[in-house]
Amino acid sequence: MFELVQLNERDFYIESPAKIGLVKVNDNEVCLIDSGNDKDAGRRVRQILDRNGWRLTAVFNTHANADHIGGNRYLQAQTGCKVYAPGIDCAFTRRTVLEPAFLYGGYPPKDLRHKFLLAQESAAEELRAEVLPPNLVPVKLPGHFFDMTGFRTAAGTVYLADCLASREALDKYGIVFIYDVAAYLETLEAVKSMEAKVFVPAHAPVTDDIAPLADYNIKKVWEIAEKIEELCREPLSFEVLLQKLFLCFGLTMTFEQYVLVGSTVRSYLAWLKDAGRVTVHFENAMLLWERA
């Protein structure tokens, strides 16, 4: 873990729970794509920088999930580097309580205020094209999170952040976190047709052919949508629907999984409702979901 892997003369990644991209700006300076999940990840990255005699100029966050921004504050304090994050995710990076609050739907209890969901805050600035080095181009990848952005390098590497999950994760958990299902599917279709020398997803193996994995992710989204519609053949409250999905996919209910899977299921329901495939009605002061 935290092994530096070289892809070409200028592009690298650091093998970690969420892969960290590293791109050489010149012979002495580098930038990072994400920073890991916590201070310890930041420290391990700093050791890699020091061993290679590199100066860190910037961290470009793909999105504001805690496992991608957790090393920001340490690296910023140690190196004086800039931190950038796209759109709404910049606000989440500056005020990290927004992630657990968004997932929970209110002020989060202590059970959710830990480093897995609540990273240390960092002085992020909004990602703009003009702050990027010449060999790095942003690639919009919305769906998994608000304004998630990947990056393409001049050497043909594409860092894909969390826009798709590994086959192993999909087979094990079934439901992976998605904020906007429609945007997620559009992103997957775009990724499926992308060409690059190498693709670096944050949570899946590095590959030169991303299309099969993109297809598998698309298939799983539709399977979950169909399962939700099937369960809603009779009117269900959200909590009962969530229970049935946990039992169906063999998931273990914890506070973390309740908010992560629960938020995702709400996103599926919103998407299905907007498409006219499910509907709601109110009965005995309860909102019930039903297949249209």
pLDDT digits (tens, 9 = 90+) for 147-205: 999 999 999 999 999 999 999 999 999 999 999 999 999 999 999 999 999 999 999 99
pLDDT score, position 120: 97
**pLDDT level of residue 141 (50, 70, 90 thresholds):** very high
d(CA 230, CA 244): 11
d(CA 59, CA 30): 9
Tens of pLDDT along 86-126?
999 999 999 999 999 999 999 999 999 999 999 999 999 99
Q: What is the token pair recorded at 283?
A: 């009965």
Q: What is the token pair recorded at 252?
A: 């273990």
**What domains can be seen in the chain, in order of their start residue?**
3-162 (3.60.15.10), 227-291 (1.10.10)
* 151 close to 138: Cβ distance less than 8 angstroms: yes
Tens of pLDDT along 199-252?
999 999 999 999 999 999 999 999 999 999 999 999 999 999 999 999 999 999
pLDDT greater than 90 at residue 1? no
Mean pLDDT, all residues of the chain = 98
**Nearest CA to 123 among 97, 85, 94?**
94
pLDDT greater than 90 at residue 139? yes
Tens of pLDDT along 192-213?
999 999 999 999 999 999 999 9
pTM of the prediction?
Answer: 0.96
